[in-house]
């Protein structure tokens, strides 16, 4: 379709944001997000974990190198760790401080984890994302078997290409007492009930305002709570009128479980998903952009 060629022409020059696409195509951000999600689901574009102003970047497969231009959007600590990895090309996880390990796990676009088996032991190495697997294997072999060490032919080294290391592994071993304190504080903060009614009402008002601004029609509405709504919505696009299942949830942090539940309900209705919230996405939830998620923070 015509809009795809226009989006691709922009993305070939540099990774794009929904707002940039909306401006270039003279449409709204919701429509631009739908276009980009559709192109991502078909493999025409890829989506970054890196956020610029709260939105991911969309880029052409094979143009991952362009993401280097957005290193400045990482947090200072993450950027420092990524630049260190860029200099060294390969880093051994066991040689790193807990802080650097955490930073590399945060920078998924630039730091790729590799599982390596050597002498019946498994280790994690971090690879600069533009380094080839062949070059990575040479560097890792030099680290594991430095010059002067006789290679044992009975032991076999295997580098598993870009195997995603579970994010739920312990990142930093926080002190249990600190965690308990944080949980208790969050519970105490949620106790006052007198102001809840106002915040709940204002959330739906924000949803309605968003729909009015973008000419979104509400076809069905199911109010689970005053802060939780499930809807079927429709809006016009260059390729016809589109229907979406819409989840509107007032929550500070949207977790993977929230999106999984919403996706399941969207599939039951055979509709794509739009997720509206006043909160931010948890790091584990970002993978859903690759499944066609449209997320809009109100």
- Is residue 167 in some structural domain? no
**Residues 118, 131: one domain?**
yes
Read off the CATH number of the domain in which 116 is found. 1.10.10
**pLDDT tens, 1-56?**
578 888 999 999 999 999 899 998 888 888 888 889 889 988 999 999 999 988 89
Cβ within 8 Å of residue 281, ≥6 positions away: 253, 254, 295
C-alpha span between 164 and 281 (Å, rounded): 20
**pLDDT tens, 204-258?**
999 999 999 888 999 999 988 889 999 999 988 766 788 899 999 999 998 888 8
Read off the CATH number of the domain in which 279 is found. 3.40.1350
**Residues 13, 63: one domain?**
yes
- Is residue 280 in some structural domain? yes
pLDDT of residue 179: 41
**Residues 138, 148: one domain?**
yes
pLDDT of residue 200: 46
**Residues 82, 21: one domain?**
no
Rg of the chain taking only CA atoms, in angstroms: 23
pLDDT of residue 155: 44
**Residues 150, 216: one domain?**
no
**Residues 154, 112: one domain?**
yes
pLDDT band at 147 (very low <50, low <70, confident <90, very high): low
C-alpha span between 63 and 199 (Å, rounded): 43
Domain span at 238: 196-297
* DSSP class of 23: H
Where among 72, 103, 133 does a domain terminate? 72
C-alpha span between 32 and 22 (Å, rounded): 5
Task: Give yes or no for a contact between 112 and 120, defined as CB atoms under 8 angstroms apart.
Answer: no
pLDDT of residue 161: 45
**Residues 89, 152: one domain?**
yes
Phi, psi dihedral angles at 244 (to 5 degrees):
-135, 150
Where among 55, 72, 89 does a domain terminate? 72
The tally of domains found in the chain comes to 3
**Which strand (E) or helix (H) includes residue 101?**
helix 98-106
Task: Give yes or no for a contact between 90 and 140, defined as CB atoms under 8 angstroms apart.
Answer: yes
C-alpha span between 205 and 220 (Å, rounded): 17
Paired sense of beta strands 55-59 and 111-118, if any: unpaired
């Amino acid at each position: 379709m015509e809009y795809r060629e226009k989006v691709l022409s922009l993305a070939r020059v540099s990774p794009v944001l929904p707002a940039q696409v909306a401006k270039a195509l003279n449409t709204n951000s919701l429509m631009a997000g739908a276009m980009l999600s559709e192109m991502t689901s078909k493999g025409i574009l890829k989506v970054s974990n890196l956020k610029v102003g709260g939105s991911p970047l969309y880029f052409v497969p094979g143009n991952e190198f362009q993401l280097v231009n957005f290193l400045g959007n990482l947090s200072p600590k993450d950027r420092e760790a990524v630049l260190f990895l860029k200099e060294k090309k390969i880093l051994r996880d066991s040689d790193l401080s807990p802080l650097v390990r955490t930073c590399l796990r945060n920078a998924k676009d630039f730091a790729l984890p590799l599982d390596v088996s050597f002498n019946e032991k498994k280790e994690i190495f971090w690879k600069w994302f533009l380094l080839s697997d062949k070059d990575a294997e040479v560097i890792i072999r030099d680290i594991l078997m430095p010059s002067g060490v006789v290679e044992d032919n009975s032991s076999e080294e295997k580098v598993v290409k870009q195997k995603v290391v579970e994010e739920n592994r312990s990142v930093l071993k926080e002190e249990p007492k600190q965690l308990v304190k944080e949980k208790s504080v969050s519970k105490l903060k949620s106790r006052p009930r007198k102001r809840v009614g106002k915040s709940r009402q204002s959330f739906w008002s924000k949803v309605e305002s968003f729909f009015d601004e973008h000419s979104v029609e509400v076809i069905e509405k199911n109010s689970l709570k005053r802060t939780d709504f499930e809807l079927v919505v429709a809006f016009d696009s260059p390729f016809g009128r589109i229907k979406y299942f819409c989840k509107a949830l007032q929550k500070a942090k949207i977790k993977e479980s929230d999106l999984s539940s919403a996706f399941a309900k969207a599939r039951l209705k055979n509709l794509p998903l739009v997720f509206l919230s006043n909160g931010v996405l948890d790091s584990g939830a970002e993978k859903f952009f690759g499944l066609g998620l449209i997320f809009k923070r109100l």
